[in-house]
């Protein structure tokens, strides 16, 4: 039958004709008796009926890197439905993310992920108030899949489109979980980014500093590969960062001394590539001393992992401490109830969180972190950022034609020169961890 696919019907659980005007988005079903069944019936009774009497609903779609995520969130902060497909196992085998493979996997799974999120939410696409999608920054091939797919939905269902900055979504996720008022200081640490910024409002950020080379997550992943942690019996199913954190718990960081990056620079920028090169040199030297072949595990693997994790954490702590002192000196944060929000995939690292807790205790800030499952990339944070922008009336596009994805995109207004000119010296801080 032209224009129809034969699949298992959501309602009758039998194989019948399902109409897919946009690939994978079911809009109607013909049962064996050929009665037209609307999608709302196939997906269950809708939870909302009147746009005027019910909270607004946003579908969020995330494909900036290697996770395909979708979620429906309402403006009260209720997560109505979510779905996520992780590519971790595939990329573990290849030793890193290959953009072409990530793109293909997004294409293969985005239909299913979006439909699962809608089905779990008991919401039809017609009932959505808007569709929000990550358009920057990220892998260009991955971003393109999410944007192309979303624009088809927007056209089909005649919904507003909300383009999302991936890092803004990470920064605002905490406001989904608890009441955090603007302004607040935010530290975003992930596999692709590392930055400090002041969040003054939705889409209103002042950038204090960022990584000049690679991210902490990238450093962890590369060191984990150099240590061959995927071959360690306790780490075979873990990502590089997870494996390094796990093994580091068994080691003594004091057995190896790594140079703290940028110790003479009085700003809030980061650098991790030199640290990673130093660690790799140690790994190569120890491997030769122990006569190991490629892929074998060093006897001191836990000590090296612990030293790398501690040095990365201490570097982050020093820059964050300076950022807090700068904000307090310049009056960028409230005198009472100021917050440091930490988000992004590396924010799930419990050692780094404990180190940062020392900083907030010393400076009087509250440390606020989303739960680990919302620190990594997901559709929930995109949908929530869509809600925030919908409320504020910011970049809600009723005619999104011509919109493009941006693989590289800064967050907010850069005032890092102002931080540098302030020349704030950070007092010595003992880490109780």
pLDDT of residue 102: 94
- Report the pLDDT averaged over residues 155-171: 97
Q: Higher pLDDT residue, 17 or 166?
A: 166
Q: In this structure, are residues 117 and 75 in contact, taking their beta carbons and an 8 Å threshold?
A: no
- Report the pLDDT averaged over residues 290-305: 96
pLDDT of residue 425: 94
- Report the pLDDT averaged over residues 358-382: 96
Q: Higher pLDDT residue, 116 or 25?
A: 116
Is the pLDDT confidence value at 34 over 90?
no
Is the pLDDT confidence value at 371 over 50?
yes
Q: Running DSSP on this structure, what letter comes out for residue 44?
A: -
Q: Which two tokens stand for residue 69?
A: 């995520």
- Report the pLDDT averaged over residues 317-343: 97
pLDDT of residue 401: 85
Rounded to whole angstroms, the Cα distance separating 137 from 128 reads 25
- Report the pLDDT averaged over residues 382-394: 97
CA 169 to chain centre: 8
pLDDT of residue 52: 46
Rounded to whole angstroms, the Cα distance separating 119 from 80 reads 10
Digit-coded pLDDT (tens) for 45-64: 333 333 445 799 999 999 99
Q: In this structure, are residues 338 and 184 in contact, taking their beta carbons and an 8 Å threshold?
A: yes
H helix or E strand, kind and range, residue 368:
strand 366-368
Q: In this structure, are residues 317 and 431 in contact, taking their beta carbons and an 8 Å threshold?
A: yes
Digit-coded pLDDT (tens) for 182-201: 999 999 999 889 999 999 99
Provide the pLDDT confidence category of residue 431 given band limits of 50, 70 and 90. Answer: confident
Is the pLDDT confidence value at 40 over 50?
no
Is the pLDDT confidence value at 28 over 50?
no
Is the pLDDT confidence value at 1 over 60?
no
pLDDT of residue 96: 79
Q: In this structure, are residues 16 and 116 in contact, taking their beta carbons and an 8 Å threshold?
A: no
Q: Residue 228: beta bridge partners?
A: none
Digit-coded pLDDT (tens) for 97-140: 899 999 999 999 999 999 999 999 999 999 999 999 999 999 99
Query: What's the whole-model pTM score?
Result: 0.85
Is the pLDDT confidence value at 19 over 60?
no
Provide the pLDDT confidence category of residue 4 given band limits of 50, 70 and 90. Answer: very low
pLDDT of residue 279: 98
Domains in the chain with CATH codes: 4-43 (no CATH), 57-173+376-392 (3.30.420.40), 182-369+413-422 (3.30.420.40)
Digit-coded pLDDT (tens) for 214-228: 999 999 999 999 999
Q: Which two tokens stand for residue 71?
A: 């979620």
Q: Which residues contact 402 (CB under 8 A, 6 or more apart)?
A: none
Is the pLDDT confidence value at 3 over 90?
no
Q: What would the DSSP string read from start to end of 288-346?
A: HHHTPPTTPPPTTHHHHHHHHHHHHHHHHHHHHHHHHHHHHHHT-S-SSS-EEEEESGG
Percent of the chain residues topping a pLDDT of 90: 81
pLDDT of residue 306: 98
Q: Which residues contact 257 (CB under 8 A, 6 or more apart)?
A: 307
Q: Residue 201: beta bridge partners?
A: 204
Residue 31: how many CB atoms within 10 A of its CB?
Answer: 14
H helix or E strand, kind and range, residue 286:
helix 273-290
Sign of CA dihedral 391, 395, 398, 400: negative
Rounded to whole angstroms, the Cα distance separating 279 from 382 reads 36
pLDDT of residue 53: 57
pLDDT of residue 2: 34
Digit-coded pLDDT (tens) for 232-266: 999 988 999 999 999 999 999 999 999 999 999 99
Q: Higher pLDDT residue, 430 or 332?
A: 332
Provide the pLDDT confidence category of residue 433 given band limits of 50, 70 and 90. Answer: confident
């Amino acid at each position: 039958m032209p224009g129809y696919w034969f699949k298992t019907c959501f309602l009758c659980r039998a194989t019948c004709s399902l109409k897919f005007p946009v690939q994978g988005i079911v809009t109607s079903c013909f049962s064996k008796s050929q009665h037209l069944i609307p999608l709302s019936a196939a997906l269950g009774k809708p939870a909302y009926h009147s746009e005027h009497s019910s909270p607004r609903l946003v579908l969020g779609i995330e494909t900036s890197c290697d996770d395909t995520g979708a979620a429906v969130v309402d403006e009260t902060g209720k997560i109505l439905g979510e779905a996520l497909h992780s590519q971790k196992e595939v990329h573990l085998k290849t030793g890193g993310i290959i953009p072409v493979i990530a793109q293909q996997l997004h294409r293969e799974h985005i239909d299913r992920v979006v439909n699962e999120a809608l089905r779990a939410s008991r919401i039809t696409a017609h009932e959505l108030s808007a569709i929000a999608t990550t358009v920057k920054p990220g892998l260009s091939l991955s971003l393109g899949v999410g944007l192309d797919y979303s624009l088809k939905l927007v056209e089909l269902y005649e919904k507003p489109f909300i383009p999302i900055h991936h890092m803004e979504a990470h920064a605002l996720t905490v406001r989904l979980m608890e009441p955090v008022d603007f302004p607040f200081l935010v530290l975003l640490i992930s596999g692709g980014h590392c930055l400090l910024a002041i969040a003054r409002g939705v889409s209103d950020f002042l950038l204090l500093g960022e990584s000049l080379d690679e991210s902490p997550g990238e450093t962890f992943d590369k060191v984990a590969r150099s240590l061959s942690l995927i071959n360690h019996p306790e780490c075979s199913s873990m990502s590089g960062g997870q494996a390094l954190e796990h093994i580091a718990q068994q080691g003594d960081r004091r057995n190896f001394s790594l140079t703290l990056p940028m110790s003479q620079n009085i700003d809030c920028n980061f650098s991790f590539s030199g640290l990673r090169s130093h660690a790799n040199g140690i790994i190569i030297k120890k491997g030769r001393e122990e006569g190991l072949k490629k892929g074998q595990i060093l006897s001191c693997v836990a000590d090296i992992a612990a030293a790398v994790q501690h040095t990365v954490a201490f570097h982050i702590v020093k820059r964050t401490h300076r950022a807090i002192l700068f904000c307090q000196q310049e009056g960028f944060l409230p005198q009472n109830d100021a917050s440091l929000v930490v988000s992004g995939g590396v924010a799930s690292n419990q050692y780094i969180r404990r180190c940062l807790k020392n900083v907030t205790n010393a400076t009087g800030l509250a440390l606020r972190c989303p739960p680990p499952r919302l620190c990594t990339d997901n559709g929930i944070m995109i949908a929530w950022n869509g809600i925030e922008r919908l409320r504020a009336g910011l970049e809600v596009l009723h005619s999104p034609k011509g919109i493009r994805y941006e693989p590289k995109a800064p967050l907010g207004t850069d005032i890092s020169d102002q931080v540098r000119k302030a020349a704030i010296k950070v007092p010595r801080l003992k880490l109780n961890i």
